[in-house]
Structure 1
Amino acid sequence: MHHIFRHDLHLFSRLKDVLELPLPAVVEAVVLPNDLTETRPVERRVDTLLRLDSAKDGSLLLAIEAQGKKDPAKPASWAYYVSYLWTKYGLPTALLVVCQDRTTAEWAARPVASGPAYMPTLSIRPIVAGPHNMPVIIDPAKAAEDLAPATLSAITHAGDPDIGAILKALSTALRDVPENVADPIIEFTAQGLSKRPAQDLWRTLVAVDLSFYKSYLSEEIRDEGRTEGRAEGLAEGRAQAGAAAILLVLEQRGLDVPDDVRDRVTSCADPEMLRGWLTRAVTAASAEEIFADE
């Protein structure tokens, strides 16, 4: 059934009417090695692989990839992951791609086929989670209902103009949970925000709102603002972190920060007052409004 195509290399091109395909006229055809065995190990790692078991529908595999930017080589890698996992485990296999900007999310969601448009053969079309479909959670009570989706929301909306309010809701929600629950959330959020400006904001929010935690990140943040062994240095460092958080929220929201507002914020050493100003900075219409109730 297949040797005839090796005997007559142009046979496939002459089947276009039978197969109802707009095949081009082939100028040259070449027989390639048919051994697809990998003679040397090729390292390929999917970011995360889960098996999801359901009493009703059986099991499926979910491959999860974090994608920070467009990469023309990725669809072929994703197709390899899915076909390999399908072959190895014999289970339905799905792909989820997590993105932090709409452009990358739209690119990742496009169907890509291994063959030409008229013979797609193997198509890859991931499910995509990103700022285009993840909810914006700015209510601490809503964030506290389920911390994992709230964390994913914060990470995927890292470049959102409302990221200050999103992160503030998450840090507030973490105040009332055990340290062993909060620690991984703190770390995942810090790593997920990468080197964006939002990461600095998260670090200052952790220093101000979660100063009683002893996680690696919170300890690192507090170490930056204190003189070793001096309680007054620690207090000063927290005040500086709180002031920086307030100014960063205002600036990220595009609000003008007059010099008198900046001076008042940076000169304040009262942590409770700073916390109140930070809460108002998330929704204030102007920088001056953070002092409205005083």
Structure 2
Amino acid sequence: MPSQVHDIPAELFRWSPKIAGHLLAEMGIKIPDIHDATEVSESCTDHKTSEYMADAAVLLDTQDGPWGVVVEVQRNDRLHDKRFTWPLYLATLRARHECPAALLVIAPQPSVARACAATIETGHPGYALTPLVLRPEHVPVMTDPDAIAADPAMGVLSAMFHAGPDDTLDAVVQGHDKIAEADRLIARRYYDWVSALLPEAARKTLREKMKTASRWYSEDAQAWIAEGIAEGKAQGLAEGKAEGRAEGEAKSLLLFLEARGIEVTDEQRQRILQCADLQQLETWVRRAATVSSADELFD
């Protein structure tokens, strides 16, 4: 089953379809000037048979007409099936929109990227497909907060491929705050997606930097907490029951954890939401201010 670290890179192209054209240009693909770009259906099934789905698909609006891009995210080297489905995805998008089309593969692991770049021989003379595999040198290193705010989706890709040194993680913090000045919801999405894609060590470092260096992150947390507590108190008064107060406390706790960037599993979320013990919930709320993972909350 696809995971969050698999889905987020594909979602970037739905969030900002135009980056597909920018990335292909960085890879040396000559595409006419792009006026706009739109997300299109990634389904590659036109009849009621087996369903084939790419991870994402984009249609670039260029000066010479539409140009399709199939986006595939690959995080392992189990490529046997892909050797057959990738040409199918490309041919379907090309036929559906009657336009040129390219296959762009996102494979952050170097060994997987090398495997993905191997030419696929289709069997037809002269028809072989060599996937275009995104590499770190194709993605700009974004350290300017204004540039990140102007293109948050590319900022997420930059962090995924280049984050590690302090200056790039500092740029994530500054970029988050710059985005938050205009739209705090987009800022939360930017931070959440970057955090999900980083290695564990970099994720922890980023979380600490956000706590100490981000003005908006701190204010975000306070806003989420206040909103959750207010909702809980209102619900409790309206219902006149302890269950209402408990549910409100549980929701405020989950909002607080989300604001701090702490991941909560479905099992942990259910444990919190199903707890009717107000004293226990208040203990968890106090702990939530200092824990670095949801597991610590229940210790």
TM-score range for the pair, normalised by the shorter chain length: 0.5 to 0.7
Q: Structure 1 residue 184 and structure 2 residue 186: aligned?
A: no
- What SS is found at the alignment partner of 1:212? helix
Q: Partner residue of 1:156?
A: 161
Matches within 5 A, 1:177-256: 177=180, 178-193=183-198, 196-208=200-212, 209=214, 210-213=217-220, 214=224, 217-219=258-260, 221=262, 233=286, 237=290
* Inter-partner Cα distance in structure 2 for 1:191 and 1:236: 20
Change (3 A) 1:84 1:186: same
Deviation at 1:132, TM superposition (A): 4.1
Instruction: Provide the aligned C-alpha RMSD in A.
Output: 3.6
Q: CA deviation at 1:170?
A: 0.9
Counterpart amino acid of 2:159?
Answer: A
Which secondary structure does the structure 1 equivalent of 2:218 belong to? coil
Cα deviation, 1:71-112, whole Å, max 9, x if unaligned, reads 232232211111122223322111111121222223222322
Which residue pairs with 2:168 in the alignment? 166
Once the two structures are superposed, residues 142-194 of structure 1 have per-residue CA deviations (whole angstroms, 9 ceiling, x without a partner) of 54453322211111236xx53x432221112211333122022122213333x
Q: Secondary structure at the match of 2:219?
A: coil
The alignment partner of 1:78 has SS state of helix
CA contact (8 A) 1:99 1:156 kept: no
* Structure 2 equivalent of residue 19 of structure 1: none
What residue in structure 1 maps to residue 75 of structure 2? 68
SS at match of 1:221: coil
- Aligned residue for 1:59? 66
Pairing of 1:89-100 with structure 2 (within 5 A): 89-100=97-108
Deviation per CA, 1:24-54: give whole Å up to 9, x if none. xxxxxxxxxxxxxx99621211111111112
Largest Rg, 1 or 2: 1
Q: Which residue of 1 aligns with 2:50?
A: 42
- 1:217 to 1:63, Cα distance in 2 relative to 1, 3 A: farther
Amino acid at match of 2:64: D
Relative distance call for 1:112 and 1:222 in structure 2 (3 A) is closer
Aligned partner of residue 83 in structure 2, secondary structure: helix
- Cα pair 2:207 2:261 within 8 Å, conserved: no
Which residue identity does 1:221 align to in structure 2? I
Sort the Cα spacing of 1:140 and 1:134 in 2 relative to 1 into closer, same or farther, 3 A. same
TM-score normalized with structure 1 length = 0.54
5+ residue gaps in structure 1? 1-37, 245-294
Tell me the equivalent position of 1:124.
Answer: 129
- By how many angstroms is 1:236 displaced? 5.8
Distance in 1 (CA, whole Å) between partners of 2:158 and 2:70 is 20
Instruction: For 2:287 and 2:210, locate their aligned partners in 1 and report how far apart those are by CA, in whole Å.
Output: 14
2:79·2:116 contact (CA, 8 Å) conserved in 1? no
Q: Which residue, out of 84, 87, 92, partners 2:92?
A: 84
| Identity value in percent | 23
Unmatched segments (≥5 aa) in structure 2: 1-45, 225-254, 269-279, 294-299
SS of the residue aligned with 1:51? strand
Letter matched to residue 173 of structure 2: S
Q: TM-score, normalised by structure 2?
A: 0.53
Alpha-carbon contact 2:74-2:105 (below 8 Å) kept = yes
* Structure 1 CA distance for aligned equivalents of residues 200 and 99 of structure 2: 38
Q: How does 1:134-153 map to 2 (within 5 A)?
A: 134-138=139-143, 140=145, 143-144=148-149, 146-153=151-158
Question: Any conservation in 2 of the 1:95–1:127 contact (CA below 8 Å)?
Answer: yes
Change (3 A) 1:186 1:39: closer
